[in-house]
Amino acid sequence: MKLIFDKSIPGRRGMRPIRPQVETKADFPKHMLREKPAELPELSELDVVRHFTELSQKNFGVDGGFYPLGSCTMKYNPKVCEHVVRYPGFFDLHPLLPQLPTGQTLVEGALEVLYEMDVMLREICGMAGFTMQPLAGAHGELTGTMIMAAYHRDRGNKKTTMLIPDSGHGTNPASAAIAGFDVKTIPSDESGLMCMEALEEALDDSVAGLMITCPNTLGLFNSRIEEICRKVHDVDGLVYCDGANLNAMLGVCRPGDIGFDIVHVNLHKTFATPHGGGGPGAGPVGVAEKLVDFLPISVIRKANDGSFYLDYNLPKSIGYVAPFYGAFGVIAKAFAYLRMLGAEGLKRVSNNAVLNANYVRKKLESHFDLPFPRTCKHECVFSAARHKDEYDVSATDIAKALIERGFHPPTIYFPLTVKEAMMVEPTETESRETLDAFIEAMIEIAKLAESDPEQVKKCPTNTPVSRLDEVAAARKPDVASLPEEVAGG
């Protein structure tokens, strides 16, 4: 399909120009002006609408079908949440208003949303305080590790090491590194959980903390998690809960009660805000009482008269991690979702998410290897290692065969601790009928891998493009279409 730039017709235009209204002409010195106009497309409004409509039709979203992408919690995004954040009172609200004199009275509704969201998240996670500022899960991790650094600095601790299990998300070590920590990886044991002996060996005075995903990325809940937290606390370390998998625990148990000091919540996973083709997300961070003073500037508080205000006077704070109060538009959607569910609804979310994952696990365990055959939480991880060895059919091939059959594949090749991993997270918003159709497709693919592996390996054949040459893309990168004279020169 042609690039939008290549559809351009000189002189054609979309938007009609506005009348000048004022006679004044800005008069900049010529050398301050750009020599040539930016080579943007010249198209009618319909041209643009058709272009993007056609692009959208080459995309697979949750609204289009089952999207069991493990660790990403691709649940349904309720339409009303999209609707309410477009109210002008939210959509057009300038973030600097509260910094004007008496300004906090100009944004009371927005401050109430943020404050009430904070209260609800504290209750759901069992934490003493939250910041809404982090703009994504990984940004929450960075905020959390910066809070760890501030805590240790405040106590005069010289701690440099961050412990991270080998099954953790890649963002964990990257976030810890840019908060200034040295990363030490803790291996998993044969049960798929963090190896306790290796943890104990690694725990010394240099340990600033442990970052751990709970339930872990295999979908397993570590029954010894409370003990793990205690051991880390014994060396004055802090325990960080990567909350990517919170969907499994809603209303069942709370990170704060377990002993976690810090948790980040992915609003775009657990609380149903859309993933946007890769953002925007939001990653609010909750902390235990002893860390509340280190939360980023500013913090929203409720005055005795019931009004809300922003507190900037936080001497121990780690400072600013976002320009304002977080991804408000995302937070407001999650707020709306939570107000529709209530406590009972949240419990049903985790309950059905876990049931659906176990249903898929049990129905497929005789067709695919399940490295850790026990009750899972919100997701289960299969391995295609046997199919790879015996029929040369890899996790990628199986993923592409699922695409051929109208499903989005699971997450593949993660966690790194499982060979040819296929991580299935159905979520609670999928029906039994959908799960059955997926299970049937998986079984069909498993059989086809044995009988006619070439049929699997040539998938997909019914998509706008088939398998793309990623090696060539990286070797000779073409990452922008530039105007002709630039590209030629």
Partner 1 sequence: MPFIPNTNLQRIQMLAEIGMDEDDLFSDIPSELRCGELDLPEPLAEQELRRLMSSLAERNRTDLMSFLGGGFYDHFTPAALDAIISRSEFYTAYTPYQPEISQGTLQAMYEYQSAICRLTEMDVANASIYDGGTAIYEAIMMAMRITGRRRVIMDQTVNPIYRKMICSYTTNLGIELVETNPEDGKASRDQILENLKKDTAAVVLQNPNFFGMIDDYSDIVEMAAKHGALSIASCYPISLGILKTPGEMGVDIVTGEGQSLGLGLSFGGPYLGFMATRKKYMRKLPGRMSGRTVDDQGREGFVMTLQAREQHIRREKATSNICTNQNLCALTALTYLSLLGKQGLREVAQSCADKTGYAKERLLKVPGVRLKYPSRWHFNEFVLELPVRADQVIRRLLHRGVAAGFPLAEYYPDMEMSLLVALTEKRTKAEIDFFAHVLEISL
Residues 356-375 that bind partner 1 (CB under 8 A): 356, 358-359, 362-363, 374-375
Residue 179 in the binding site for partner 1 (CB under 8 A): yes
Determine contact, residues 397/460, Cβ cutoff 8 Å.
no
Point out which span in 5-13, 287-295, 384-392, 437-445 binds partner 1 (CB under 8 A).
5-13
Residue 130 in the binding site for partner 1 (CB under 8 A): no
Radius of gyration of the chain (CA): 25
Structural tokens at position 469: 């040459």
**Three-state DSSP class for 184?**
strand
Residue 276 in the binding site for partner 1 (CB under 8 A): yes
Residue 474 in the binding site for partner 1 (CB under 8 A): yes
Task: Give the separation between CA 489 and CA 486, rounded to whole angstroms.
Answer: 5
115, 157, 183, 455: residue in contact with partner 1 (rule CB under 8 A): 183
| Subset of residues 184 to 213 that bind partner 1, contact rule: CB under 8 A | none
Residue 213 DSSP code: E
Minimum CB distance to partner 1, residue 447 (Å)? 21
Residue 401 in the binding site for partner 1 (CB under 8 A): no
| Subset of residues 67 to 96 that bind partner 1, contact rule: CB under 8 A | 67, 69, 72, 74-78, 80, 82-96
Point out which span in 173-181, 235-243, 287-295, 442-450 binds partner 1 (CB under 8 A).
173-181
Task: Give the separation between CA 134 and CA 125, rounded to whole angstroms.
Answer: 17
68, 129, 173, 243: residue in contact with partner 1 (rule CB under 8 A): 173
Of 311, 325, 291, 297, nearest to 147 (Cα)?
291
Point out which span in 199-207, 384-392, 425-433, 443-451 binds partner 1 (CB under 8 A).
425-433
Of 88, 84, 119, nearest to 308 (Cα)?
119
Q: Which is nearer to partner 1, 170 or 289 (CB)?
A: 170
| Subset of residues 15 to 54 that bind partner 1, contact rule: CB under 8 A | 15, 17-18, 20-29, 31-35, 37-43, 45, 48-49, 51-53
Task: Give the separation between CA 343 and CA 341, rounded to whole angstroms.
Answer: 7
Residue 236 in the binding site for partner 1 (CB under 8 A): no
Task: Give the separation between CA 317 and CA 328, rounded to whole angstroms.
Answer: 21
Minimum CB distance to partner 1, residue 468 (Å)? 5
Q: How many other C-beta atoms lie within 10 A of the C-beta of residue 413?
A: 16
In degrees, to the nearest 5, what angle opens at C-alpha 353 toward C-alphas 83 and 356? 125
